[in-house]
């Protein structure tokens, strides 16, 4: 930077796609005019070669500046765009309103001399961004132009200290974990702000035994620590990360990351920048992009629906936005600022001060631990921000059966636990929601799902001490329970069974009340009848996972359904006696829950300081030390 530069503290770099990225992924970084004679060529992750008489826009997910978030959550009052360019052309800066409307801000021509990059800067105030809006720039070239580097900067020094302890719990994913460790040191700017990397290894296939571990560990040196422990789930892994970070490091920021992600390294620096400039200690989370469809954004932000206490997309957001077909400039809702209740722990930066004050995660094993922590932090006055432009790639939930497999137990049990801890709403809404889901599962012949959810109700009503006591044993118990149900047994392929006896006809989802009622009546009448034994030997239909809906399955006795990942099938078989038994047991538990929930609220809230205490977690993380004490 020159002495006259207003760019002092970098908030985000201008970054380019990796070599070999498909065209749809390029649109996360740059938008190119269809009239360009040739494609722009990234020379490095931070430099770009643009042909003559071309136009390239940086109104993209990774390179536009999310001004409204910085306006709302930080002390920054203006932002400086700093670019270094060779060649001749023009830079134009634009901003958007919360409606998505584009407004021209400023523009300058540039011409470099003797191959020395021309330095272009624009300072833009953040006052107009109360409710939404981004800032971006376009480059129009006369000659061939090279962008040697650029970024968005604050005109003041960043407060505080950059000192991150990264935590990556892992379970039988040594390949993914090694790749994540390598990614942390692949970018020198990221590498220098990381003071510790904490890896709780909870699996039987140890990351230390991976052939690439030595290389990954060498880059981190003494900063890397591996902690072998039983499988305590995500909450046990992240609790170990927080415990070690607070006890054994001087970090200012604790960064939770999943092991099975692909990292965009600058995202770490962007989260760090907002962490340091935040008006108050703030949890800063990143977005999740789809690992298999990498131009797809999972969601702009999530909240908890207070009517039924269930996580959902925040207002004015949609799941699975595809930037390859709908650019940032063409998507008005993406220009609103989205406020959230929590952020997923695929990437979430927690200030040390917050962790020290509000404590450890609750012992949920998996599911709802991130939501609970965000809600708890909010109750203490510490907001969560899901920051656009900070993101990782992760397997999409649509490729998993987690709503109906063993994870259904943790979904329900922990939803109830977090509701008891942080929700003052009427339990009737939650129970109606669960009853509807139960009937749907039974209609879809998902008996194992209802069985594990009945156990979830039992374990929740047994109280908070019981929840901690089964942290390690709940999963094996659930696996054992599911073995009693055919819909939980995955077969390699439908061809393992006889060919289906029926040919499936296209069936449209019922949308009118009359058609819904007709399908429902047919399903009820069918389920009152006995089962044809033949259909448990030979399926009636082979059903793709996306077609396995209640209005089709409720009139069948035996069907195969493909798993969400496409790797196998399950043979769902109707059993009238088992269905009514599961329904009776569910209704009985729901009645008990309705009667006891207010008392359970009081019990769980009294227990929260213990559930989230370092001392209680030591009894499972460090059992030998706890016994000797």
User: Which active-site residues does the annotation give?
Assistant: 370
Task: Note whether 216 and 178 are within 8 A (CB).
Answer: yes
Specify whether the CB–CB gap between 251 and 380 falls below 8 A.
no
The structure tokens listed for 1 are: 């930077």
Paired tokens of 579 = 């269905």
Contact partners, residue 568, CB within 8 Å, separation at least 6: 490, 491, 492, 493, 562
8 A C-beta contact, residue 15 and residue 45: yes
DSSP-based three-state secondary structure for 451: helix
Q: Which of 261, 283, 459 shows the shortest CA–CA distance to 363? A: 459
Strands 347-351, 253-257: pairing kind: antiparallel
| Cα–Cα dist 540/536, whole Å | 9
What is the token pair recorded at 104? 């021209």
The CA distance from 367 to 124, in Å, is 41
Q: Helices 369-379 and 233-248 sit at what angle, rounded to 10 degrees?
A: 50
Structure tokens at 154: 């604050």
SS3 call for 56:
strand
Torsion from C-alpha of 167, 169, 173, 177, nearest 10 degrees: 10
**How many Cβ atoms are within 10 Å of 480's Cβ, its own excluded?**
9
Helix (H, G, I), strand (E, B) or coil at 96: strand
Distance CA 522, CA 556 (A): 11
Q: Is 231 helix (H, G, I), strand (E, B) or coil?
A: coil
Cα 557 versus chain centre, distance: 37
Backbone angles phi, psi at 110, to 5 degrees: -145, 150
DSSP label of 530: P
94 and 101 Cβ atoms separated by less than 8 Å:
no
Q: Which pair of tokens denotes residue 184?
A: 């942390």
Instruction: Identify the three-state secondary structure at position 565.
Output: coil
DSSP track, 529-546? SPP-GGGGTS-SEEE-GG
Strand partners, 312: 303
The separation between CA 623 and the C-alpha centre of its own chain, rounded to angstroms, equals 31
What is the C-alpha to C-alpha distance for residues 556 and 443, in angstroms, rounded to an integer? 9
In this structure, what token pair is assigned to residue 525? 């009448």
Contacts of 502-505 with C-beta under 8 Å, sequence gap 24+, read: 502/540, 502/541, 504/541, 504/542, 504/543, 504/547
Q: From 535, 444, 533, 544, select the one nearest 498 (Cα to Cα).
A: 535
- First-to-last alpha carbon distance for the chain, in angstroms, is 56
């Amino acid at each position: 930077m020159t002495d006259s530069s207003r760019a002092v503290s970098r908030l985000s770099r201008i970054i380019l796609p990796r070599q070999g990225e498909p065209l749809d992924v390029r649109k996360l970084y740059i938008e190119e005019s269809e009239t360009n004679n040739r494609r722009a060529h990234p020379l490095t992750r931070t430099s770009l070669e643009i042909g003559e008489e071309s136009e390239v826009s940086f109104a993209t997910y990774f390179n536009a500046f999310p001004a409204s978030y910085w306006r709302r959550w930080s002390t920054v009052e203006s932002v400086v765009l700093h670019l270094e360019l060779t060649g001749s052309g023009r830079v134009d800066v634009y901003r958007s309103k919360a409606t998505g409307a584009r407004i021209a801000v400023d523009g300058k021509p540039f011409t470099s001399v003797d191959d020395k990059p021309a330095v272009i800067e624009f300072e833009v105030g953040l006052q107009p961004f109360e409710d939404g809006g981004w800032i971006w720039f376009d480059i129009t070239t006369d000659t061939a132009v090279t962008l040697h580097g650029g970024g968005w900067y604050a005109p003041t020094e960043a407060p505080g200290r950059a000192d991150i302890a990264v935590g990556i719990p892992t379970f039988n994913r040594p390949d993914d974990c090694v790749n994540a460790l390598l990614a942390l040191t692949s970018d020198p700017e990221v590498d220098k702000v990381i003071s510790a990397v904490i890896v709780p290894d909870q699996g039987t296939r140890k990351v230390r035994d991976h052939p690439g571990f030595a290389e990954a560990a060498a880059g981190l040196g003494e900063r890397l620590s591996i902690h072998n422990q039983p499988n305590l789930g995500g909450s046990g892994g992240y609790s170990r990360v927080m415990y070690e970070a607070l006890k054994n490091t001087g970090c200012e920021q604790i960064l939770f990351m999943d092991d099975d992600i692909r990292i965009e390294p600058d995202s770490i620096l962007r989260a760090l920048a907002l962490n340091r400039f935040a008006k108050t200690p703030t949890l800063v989370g990143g977005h999740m992009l789809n690992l298999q469809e990498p131009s797809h954004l999972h969601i702009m932000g999530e909240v908890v629906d207070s009517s039924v206490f269930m996580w959902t997309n925040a207002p004015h957001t949609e799941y699975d936005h595809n930037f390859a077909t709908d650019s940032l400039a063409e998507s008005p809702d993406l220009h609103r600022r989205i406020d959230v209740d929590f952020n997923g722990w695929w990437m979430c930066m927690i200030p040390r001060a917050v962790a020290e004050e509000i404590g450890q995660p609750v012992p949920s094993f998996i599911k709802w631990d991130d939501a609970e922590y965000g809600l708890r932090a909010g109750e203490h006055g510490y907001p969560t921000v899901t920051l656009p432009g900070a993101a990782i790639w992760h397997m999409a939930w649509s490729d998993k059966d987690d709503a109906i497999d063993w994870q259904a137990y943790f979904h329900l049990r922990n939803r109830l636990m977090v509701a008891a801890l942080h929700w003052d709403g009427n339990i009737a809404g939650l129970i109606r929601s669960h009853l509807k889901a139960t009937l749907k599962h039974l209609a879809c012949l998902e008996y194992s799902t209802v069985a594990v959810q009945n156990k979830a109700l039992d374990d929740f009503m047994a109280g908070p001490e019981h929840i901690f006591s089964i942290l390690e044993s709940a999963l094996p118990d659930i696996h054992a329970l599911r073995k009693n149900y055919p819909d939980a047994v995955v077969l390699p392929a439908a061809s393992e069974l006889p060919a289906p006896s029926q040919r499936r006809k296209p069936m449209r989802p019922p949308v009118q009340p009359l058609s819904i009622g007709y399908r429902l009546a047919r399903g009820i009448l069918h389920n009152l009848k006995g089962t044809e034994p033949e259909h448990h030997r030979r399926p009636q239909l082979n059903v793709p996972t996306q077609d396995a809906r209640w209005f089709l399955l409720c009139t069948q006795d035996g069907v195969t359904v493909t798993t969400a990942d496409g790797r196998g099938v399950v043979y769902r078989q109707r059993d009238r006696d088992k269905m009514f038994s599961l329904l009776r047991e569910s209704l009985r538990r729901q009645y008990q829950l309705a009667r006891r929930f207010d008392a359970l609220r009081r019990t769980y809230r009294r227990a929260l300081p213990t559930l989230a205490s370092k001392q209680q977690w030591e009894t499972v993380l460090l059992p030998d030390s706890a016994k000797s004490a």
